[in-house]
Structure 1
Amino acid sequence: MRVFSSAKTSDNSERVVLERVSAVAEALPRLPRADCVLLDLQLPDAVGLDGLARILAEAPTIAVVVLTGRQDDTAGIAAVGAGAQDYLAKDQVDGQLLLRALRYAWERGRAEQFEQRLLQHQLLMRENARLERGLLPSPLIEDPRLGLTVRYRPGRDGTLLGGDFYDAIEVPDGSVRLIIGDVSGHGPDEAALGVALRIAWRSVVLAGMPMSDVLDLVEKLLLVEAIQPLFATVCALTVAPDRRSLRMTLAGHPPPLLLDSPDGPRLLSENLGPPLGVTPGIERHELHVPLGRQWSLLLYTDGIFEGRTPDGRRHTGPERMHDIATRLLPERRDRDETLDRLIRTMDALHGGPLDDDIALALLTCDPAGERR
């Protein structure tokens, strides 16, 4: 039995290093540094396909070429079916054929590994997309005057969902409830808690709970479900049935940006209370905001502005994000493209994709929608 590895020499030619062993047990410790194995099916400690099975159990991705007896195609085909890359008859092997077979087996093994990783990645992406569609909400708004455009992007590679969450529901009296929030920390526990808080909020809103009680119940769930001390920032608001005013509660969350208001763009930043989970049971205050006939309201989580500039010296900051949003939002009627441009611009200021989770919700009111 022979174990091969290869390397490039100084003149860029290929150098093959051969280690000869007489038993599978001697080969197993050498497999991590090997590229290919030439395996005799008749060894002192392994007969037939037993040696192949032991080698592949120890090194599943290694290329193996088996040596069979004279004209024994049946054993060779069985070995290939069991995971070998190729087989050779002992009485038909010469130096060139052997080297070509080993090189072919090695390259074929590498190609199969790449295809397997690609397939696994594609399957994971499709599965993640299906799961994310199930976990992210479907806003329930029927009023043709209102438009809701959302964007959600986890901030860590390979993550399905982050700790940010949002939801929106039009209730029977015609008012619209909307929430956006951010669970402190990063990881699967925080993501799961964010989903739980969103579902809890939707459940109590659909049950007809008054706005003053909803956040208290959501906070109680946070305290029960969090497996470690965590808090969540939240912006919750109710738009009146006539769409000319809203009531809002902030719990440690960045204030939304109101556009097209009678007083021009402004932040709704009064009565900022502590995050959920910090001071349970505290009385929370509502801010009443009058609205014009046509308006846009941007809600967001802090991931959109907490990226650092490429030199790493300072955060981009909310003021810069507000200036960019104020310029972009009124100039485009394509709200999807507007939010995408906002994210791309903030990514560029960061010098690459932002590190943190991002959730954006753009709620617009256009009276012309009633006539469409």
Structure 2
Amino acid sequence: MLKISVNINLCVRCLVISNPHFRMFLRNKSSIAAGGTADALDGFVDNLMITKVNKWRSRRKIVQCDTFKKSISDCDVQLEEPILITHSTVDECIMKNFNSPKLTSILRNCLDKKLCPSKDLLLKLAQNFANVGNAEYIDVLISLHKVGHQIELNELEVYRILRAEAMWRSGESSEKSLNILWEIYKEQPALRRYVRSSLRVLISEVVLNRGEASLIQAKNFVLQIASPPYEDYLPLSYFWARCILSDCYADHQLAAELAEECKERELFKRALGSRIHSVIGEALSRHQIDAIHRLLETFLKLSMDNCSQHVLEKLFDYKYLLADVEGCDAVLEACSALGLDVGYTRRKELEKLRANKSSKFSFYHQKKEQKQKSDLKYKQVPKFKLKL
């Protein structure tokens, strides 16, 4: 059987988390290392399941965007039949052809005739063009907005944010996209939440697609926002969370470096605490127990006891749902070593689970013995008396 050894060196209050039952050991005032074994088949099945889930999620996302991509695949598509567009029917016409290859020609036609759709529809179109990486037609939408509406500064900056997203996704220039976002972040405090939302999506795509240059640029950008005078640690917490959840060892090291660099900053700890629920939920939904281990290790190093206890509670619940008594016991041992507690209710539920498993085990053995006895009866050769 293949043996997998995991060695983790931690500080005084840190744990070593090694095997699939989450066995932990604690030694005071010394660095520690522990090795554990795991079933190779279980690891293979888990990795295969995660790969399949990610594959179908990405395929579903591609299918959702595929229809809209077809509508802008050819910017020079000419209308086979002229469509009558008026001020009263422009919104209806665009919505009717929203997923049609005719959409781009209709927008050009509207610009030539100075027919402007509603603001909400223009923003919806801009978001879709940003998702598929088409910055050219976002410029067309800006021109349409100026034709029919008095464009305000905030509205123009929103279009610029979406245009930066489109440039990033098209591969035109990630550095230029970040410069646009940085300029808007500095000059428009009211739109900083919008910039954060855009960064969260872009950071996820960077970590997923493994673009090293873009990854470094994104890291420098979030560190710049986290520096005085802004001290906005939310984008940095997004970046840290994606690195924690990544399957790449280099990303794990990067997350550890960020935590070490900012460990004395209270605002950074608050930002990490605000992300704990979403990170734990995503990790457990994907059965990424290693990510939970990394998360707990980080909180222990940062002396965030409340967050550490929350991680252990959620891990206990996960093991309990799987009826993993040994895993639950390991979590309780870790809590005792760290001076934490998962609560009286969870302990009582574990005792019930242990009793149920023992009763099922004894019932199974009784049935097995009965079956063996019945099999022996069938195997016995009957004795016949020969009559002469």
TM-score range relative to shorter protein: under 0.3
Normalized per residue, the structure richer in helix is 2
Structure exhibiting the larger radius of gyration computed from Cα positions: 1
Greater fraction of residues in strand: 1
TM-score w.r.t. length of structure 2? 0.23
